Amino acid sequence: MSRRAAIIVLDGLGIGAAHDQASYGDTGSNTLGNTLARARPDFKLPHLAALGLGNCAPLAAVPPAVAPQAAYGTAQPVGAGKDSTTGHWEICGVVLDDPFPTFPGGFPAALVAAFSAATGRPVLANRPASGTRIIEEFGVEHCRTGAWIVYTSADSVFQIAAHEDVVPLDELYRACQTARRLCSGAWGVSRVIARPFTGGPGAWVRTDRRRDFSLPPSGATLLDRLECAGIPRVGIGKVDDLFAGRGIQSTHAATNAMAIDLIGRAFAELDRGLVFANVIEFDQTWGHRNDVPGFLAGLAELDRALPALLASVQADDLVIFTADHGNDPTTPSTDHSRERVPMLIYGPQVRPVGIGERRSFADVGATVAEFLGVAPLASGTSFLGEVWRG
């Protein structure tokens, strides 16, 4: 089968409350809804509106399309957790029953001591924090002492920040691999993240040489099915990190513009198979920093890029835009939010119909599995028959 599919994950682009949002402490979070409500009266997203984004849910500045160009709907998260790992795994058919552990009081002393002993450097901070703020607070001491800046968030992450002129990148990455080995069992965070930075006091800059070290998926994913069937997979953004490199290799992209450019190149070069992309800045650059103007500018940038991107879609392609969680920049929190996500399904053979609210993100993976002719996944219900004309 020579079909092509694309899953384009707009990281953090939630579209309203999940059914269990209150149990995650996220009542009121609605990333797209709340952010667009802050837009100027003349703010427009004409191409996203034409696809049918405003048909997914009521949104300021994005009216429902009378004749949408894509099928549209939303999906609820059913697995435990609200981070990028759990969201992407669920998209690909692996649904977690229990959340990854979090450490709101910082990491246990025994874990920190073992990490320090194994890496030969002391540890600073060890508490939940914004990545930019923790560097502002401890950057000078780190540069003076060479100690790691270790911190976490509301998500299941062990983050290690280090100045590139103080700690070589290779050493930082080795330290992350050490932390990954130590973080198992009750300490088994979903991701260990290298957070290199440069600059000086008042002008620290996190670089694009971040790396994520994830746990491998706990079950067979869409990527595993495609690999076993010999179907090509092209990764864009951090998707390889989120799956611990299993079933996919990826070209990382530090900005949305870079990711969109790489997606366009993949459409031009790939004859068959899957393009799986993570478009990162709605989460990393704007959501985590409560940057509403930046978020709105990012939406406008994506909207302007859509015509050229979709012009390269071929007759039998299936392209799905979705998200992995929310990250509402209008709330006091700088962390992810438990939200349902939008779904826009585009292609010349796609009927532009509403597919309602899907029970799980896994319906995306189930649909792509059916479309590309591989065995069904353990979770998810395909909606291919609802949208595909062929």
Per residue in 231-288, pLDDT tens?
Answer: 999 999 999 999 999 999 999 999 999 999 999 999 999 999 999 999 999 999 999 9
Per residue in 142-201, pLDDT tens?
Answer: 999 999 999 998 889 999 999 999 999 999 999 999 999 999 999 999 999 999 999 999
Q: For residue 1, what pLDDT band results from cuts at 50, 70 and 90?
A: low
Highest-pLDDT range among 121-125, 126-130, 204-208: 121-125
Q: Whose CA is closest to 83, among 98, 100, 106?
A: 100
Query: Counting beta carbons within 10 angstroms of the beta carbon of residue 38, is it exposed (0 to 12), middle (13 to 18) or buried (19 or more)?
Result: middle
Question: What are the residue boundaries of the structural domains of the chain, listed by start?
Answer: 4-98+215-387, 109-214
pLDDT at 226: 98
Beta-bridge mates of residue 322: 9
In this chain, the answer to whether the domains covering 4-98+215-387 and 109-214 adopt an identical fold is: no
pLDDT at 155: 84
Q: For residue 383, what pLDDT band results from cuts at 50, 70 and 90?
A: very high
Sequence-distant (≥ 6) Cβ neighbours of residue 64 within 8 angstroms: 52, 54, 55
Structural class in CATH, domain 109-214: alpha beta
pLDDT at 58: 97
pLDDT at 154: 82
Whole-number Å distance between alpha carbons of 49 and 353: 15
Q: Which region, left, alpha or beta, applies to residue 61 given φ > 0 means left and ψ of -120 to 50 means alpha?
A: left
Domain 4-98+215-387, classified CATH 3.40.720.10, yes or no: yes
Q: For residue 208, what pLDDT band results from cuts at 50, 70 and 90?
A: confident
Mean pLDDT of 61-73: 98
Instruction: List C-alpha distances in Å: 340 to 2, 95, 145, 280.
Output: 32, 15, 44, 18
Sequence-distant (≥ 6) Cβ neighbours of residue 308 within 8 angstroms: 264
Whole-number Å distance between alpha carbons of 73 and 55: 7
Does residue 351 have a pLDDT over 70?
yes
